[in-house]
Amino acid sequence: MASDGARKQFWKRSNSKVPGSIQHVYGAQHPPFDPLLHGTLLKATPKVPTTPVKAKRVSTFQEFESNTSDAWDAGEDDDELLAMAAESLNTAVVMETANRVLRNHSQRQGCHKPPGALGPEQKPKPSVEPPSVPSGDLRLVKSVSESRASCPAGSASDAGPLQRSQSLPHSATVALGGVPESSTLSSSALSEREASRLDKFKQLLAGPNTDLEELRKLSWSGIPKPVRAITWKLLSGYLPANVDRRPATLQRKQKEYFAFIDHYYDSRTDEVHQDTYRQIHIDIPRMSPEALILQPKVTEIFERILFIWAIRHPASGYVQGINDLVTPFFVVFICEYIDDEDVDTADVSCVPADALRNVEADTYWCMSRLLDGIQDNYTFAQPGIQMKVKILEELVSRIDGQVHRHLDQHEVRYLQFAFRWMNNLLMREVPLRCTIRLWDTYQSEPEGFAHFHLYVCAAFLVRWRKEILEERDFQELLLFLQNLPTAHWGDGDVSLLLAEAYRLKFVFADAPSHYKK
């Protein structure tokens, strides 16, 4: 079914009527696209459909790139942005360019990943973000793109009926590239851009008071690895904006956490807590990335964090899935002490004991803050998840009636696949590196993990509309939906997903009627 990745269509058509059209390009977050260069590439690849771009269609990505990044970049002296601003493109040019970018992107992905090569991508993919087409007033444009997305290497049809291990994202190597470093086209422009982004982060973080609003805006599009740990701690509210107060705060919170350990951890063998501890104890070795988690020191850290959290939150206690939420924090924080790009093989035994303790405490607190926002996902009967799956269903019925009806006709229930999407925040559906990139944005969005996540899930489902519509059997549909071929996904894929989610939020949020039939 997905054997020909090149024909995949990423962006779904939206029939929603949105007034206005793009008239001017004020800027772009990304380097100007060279139509000649890419035109050549296109010709060289026979598979590229030659369907002319329809005049009224504009890549949804463009709007979202502009909505998501341009707005925040406004007023910033981004070189590329200014360069683009100097130009004024008409809609047709804009659309065409964007479509080329996306097409080109899928080709490049195709090149990087020969079919069947399920191996993890060691290197971050080149940035795939197409030029932004800011409409100064954020008006929406009729959105549609025929562009195809990344082509998953392993098509579901190639795989056996039980594909869990194959598509299980966690089996992919975790390469924490942070913001992608381009190795191909316009690499110098990109790395320059990344360097400039990193500088902006550093300036913001240097204080004396970090402007959290600015930090969120900047982080939305991804946080460079060197500043990710500190940025996450700030965005989660764990660290104060005031630079001078940070060391004392960290020290106090770390002390507090270890006081919990001293106080409570011995109770794990008590009758009231032994079931909780036992469950945690058997779940941790069944987590990913295995090579990291199975290191005894790491296993112990996870056990302590989860046990303490569970007994301090008796309304939910420990529920399978919460364990996964520890991993991104731990990985991001431990990366400050490990040079290894590949977290899978990172050896924590070389991390000093003090540093490890700090990582543990920081992970605990940041995870706690995350869970505070989604605790009803894990209380009895998991009402938060039930509700979110319901909202997702209603959302999808609005944004893509065809997909929704198709699932319904084949008796696929959203709970059958989306329960896990909510319970584990998509962590079981995409590789860890993608989760980390996703969380850059979740932590930049108000209620990112609780609310924006729904739009991401909707975008994620519709992302596979072509494959879904091709399946005409309950069983095949469910197997596909439970084993989505994302093992090779990188930052670029997540960026596209987030942009589409942002668009959906823009269109569907604050429109309660969308949720009601």
Partner 1 sequence: MGWGDAEGMLWTRGLLWERVWNAVGNFLFKFLVIGSAGTGKSCLLHQFIENKFKQDSNHTIGVEFGSRVVNVGGKTVKLQIWDTAGQERFRRETYNSLAAWLTDARTLASPNIVVILCGNKKDLDLEREVTFLEASRFAQENELMFLETSALTGENVEEAFLKCARTILNKIDSGELDPERMGSGIQYGDASLRQLRQPRSAQAVAPQPCGC
Binding site for partner 1 (CB under 8 A): 160-162, 164-165, 168, 170-171, 278-279, 282-283, 285-288, 290, 317, 319-321, 380, 411, 415-416, 419-420, 423-424, 428, 475, 478-479, 482
Q: Given the complex with partner 1, which of 73 and 283 has the nearer CB atom?
A: 283
Give the Cα separation of 256 and 332 in Å (integer).
Answer: 21
Q: Given the complex with partner 1, which of 192 and 470 has the nearer CB atom?
A: 470
Question: Least distance in Å: CB of 317 to partner 1?
Answer: 8
Question: Least distance in Å: CB of 319 to partner 1?
Answer: 5
Q: Given the complex with partner 1, which of 23 and 165 has the nearer CB atom?
A: 165
CB 323 within 8 A of CB 280: yes
Collapsing DSSP states into helix, strand and coil, what is residue 295? coil
Q: Given the complex with partner 1, which of 27 and 384 has the nearer CB atom?
A: 384
Question: Least distance in Å: CB of 475 to partner 1?
Answer: 5
Question: Least distance in Å: CB of 265 to partner 1?
Answer: 20
Q: What is the 3-state secondary structure (H, E, C) of 456-483?
A: HHHHHHHHCHHHHHHCCCHHHHHHHHHC
For residue 41, the tally of other CB atoms under 10 A from its CB is 16
**To 10 degrees, what angle do helices 322-334 and 225-235 make?**
130
For 447, phi then psi, to 5°, come to 50, 45
**Single-letter amino acid, residue 440:** D
Give the Cα separation of 144 and 272 in Å (integer).
Answer: 56
Whether the link from the prior residue into 134 is cis, omega within 30° of 0, is no
Question: Least distance in Å: CB of 271 to partner 1?
Answer: 13
Question: Least distance in Å: CB of 381 to partner 1?
Answer: 10
- DSSP bridge partners of 50: none
CB 342 within 8 A of CB 398: no
Q: DSSP H helical segments within 87-167, as ranges?
A: 91-112, 164-167
Match 């991804």 to its residue by tokens.
222
Give the Cα separation of 413 and 429 in Å (integer).
Answer: 17
Q: Given the complex with partner 1, which of 98 and 478 has the nearer CB atom?
A: 478
Q: Given the complex with partner 1, which of 135 and 171 has the nearer CB atom?
A: 171
Q: Given the complex with partner 1, which of 56 and 278 has the nearer CB atom?
A: 278
Question: Least distance in Å: CB of 378 to partner 1?
Answer: 9
Give the Cα separation of 139 and 134 in Å (integer).
Answer: 9
Question: Least distance in Å: CB of 451 to partner 1?
Answer: 21
Q: Given the complex with partner 1, which of 272 and 282 has the nearer CB atom?
A: 282
